[in-house]
Copies of this chain bind each other. A is one copy, B any other.
Amino acid sequence: MKIGFIGLGNMGAPMASNLLKAGHELTVFDLDQAAVDKAVTEGATAADGLGDISTGDVELIITMLPAAQHVRSVYLGEDGLLASVARGVHLIDSSTIDPMTAREVAARAADQGNPMLDAPVSGGTGGAQAGTLTFMVGGEDEEFAFARPVLANMGKNIVHCGAAGNGQVAKMANNMLLGISMIGAAEAMSLGVAMGMDPEVLAGVINTSSGRCWSTDTYNPYPGVIETAPSNRGYTGGFGMDLMIKDLGLATEAAKTARQPVIMGALAQQLYQGMSFEGHGGLDFSAIIKRYLKEPE
């Protein structure tokens, strides 16, 4: 398939690579020329600008951008995609943004005959490279059916979450719960150890009981419990705390719009924000446990 791909950052670049490996023809665009050059060496064609992508004979355009303002600009800007793209070209935005913007852009696209999906991912740069991302997809059934095989070249778990924007809603809800349960795990592990328990024994009890969660059985923040977790390598790699803060910001903003309270979600956002404020924003988000350990690891 002829595909336009916009946004070759830490996530976008390996996603584009996987599409190329799967045999698709890619026209790519990024403001960073080095990223474009690298994609060209892998077989992609460099576009001169957004207009160059959308006026070509691509069937599908995929975007992977940092935040809502970029999505808004790339799609709705004066020289943006919607101003030049041919009717019928399919659109997929894999950026993580708020559902309200996702819905507005999708509605504008649909109005002019371009079916659009929101398809944010989880799995991090590791998953992007390995092609094992999870895609949470919002949009029409038939559009989901069309996009699925392409997304399957970049991920292994492709979930249809309902109408436009619901991919964003699903990711936002999941990550808010993740952010909360990680702090819960940090407090429970720290308190238990401070009261005299061995961390591995405590994790063993919790993981076979009702406190069990991904943050304890797969990504335990206490050092020495899960070999593959960032807590065993100084909280490097993994899912950056500043990204968690961004996702919690999306959730509390959506909650404000929906006039829905998210008491724990907002507290979690502030607690991570406090750690970032003290200079730890680049660590994995499980480093929040440093707040609760006598000797920070």
Contacts and interface: CB of A to CB of B under 8 A. Distances in A.
Interface of A: 99, 122, 134, 136, 157, 159-163, 165-166, 169-170, 172-178, 180-181, 183-185, 187-192, 194-198, 201-202, 204-206, 208-216, 218-219, 245, 249, 251-252, 254-256, 258-271, 273-274, 276-277, 281, 291-292, 294
Contacts of A276: 259
Given A99-B195, A187-B263, A269-B266, A162 B255 contact: no
A160 B194 CA distance: 18
Given A213-B212, A263-B271, A291-B274, A184 B195 contact: no
A191 B261 CA distance: 8
B159 A191 contact: no
Please give the count of copies of this chain that the complex contains: 4
A27 B213 CA distance: 41
Nearest to A99: B195
A183 B281 CA distance: 23
Contacts of A202: 161, 169-170, 173
Nearest to A242: B259
Given A212-B214, A254-B191, A205 B174 contact: yes
Contacts of A181: 177, 180-181, 184, 211, 213
